[in-house]
Amino acid sequence: MEKCHEYFSCEKMDCVRRKNEDLECWEIEETLCDTHSDYVTKIRNYIGGKSEACKYCIYYQQKHLKQ
């Protein structure tokens, strides 16, 4: 499966995910992934943490279904 920025056709070149090819986006703080989904942003703000919010992301879910 492609990288998250490829999956979302993300053009945000300043996202730290692009600099950390060995890690998945949910393993990295300061990613800009919450800009792709208002729902994930709301969950992240409500829960107060990235790791739980990422579980609601379609990319995360699809990646884990393939494992």
Parse the chain into domains and list their residue ranges: 4-65
Residue 48 has pLDDT above 70, yes or no: no
Taking residues 19-48, report their average pLDDT. Answer: 75
pLDDT at position 53 is: 76
Rounded to the nearest angstrom, the gap between the alpha carbon of residue 42 and the centroid of all alpha carbons in its chain is: 14
* Cβ-based neighbour number of residue 49 at 10 Å: 11
pLDDT at position 36 is: 59
pLDDT at position 11 is: 86
pLDDT at position 51 is: 72
Between 48 and 21, residue with greater pLDDT:
21
What's the pTM value of the predicted model, to 2 decimals? 0.72
- CA distance linking residue 53 with residue 40, whole number of Å: 6
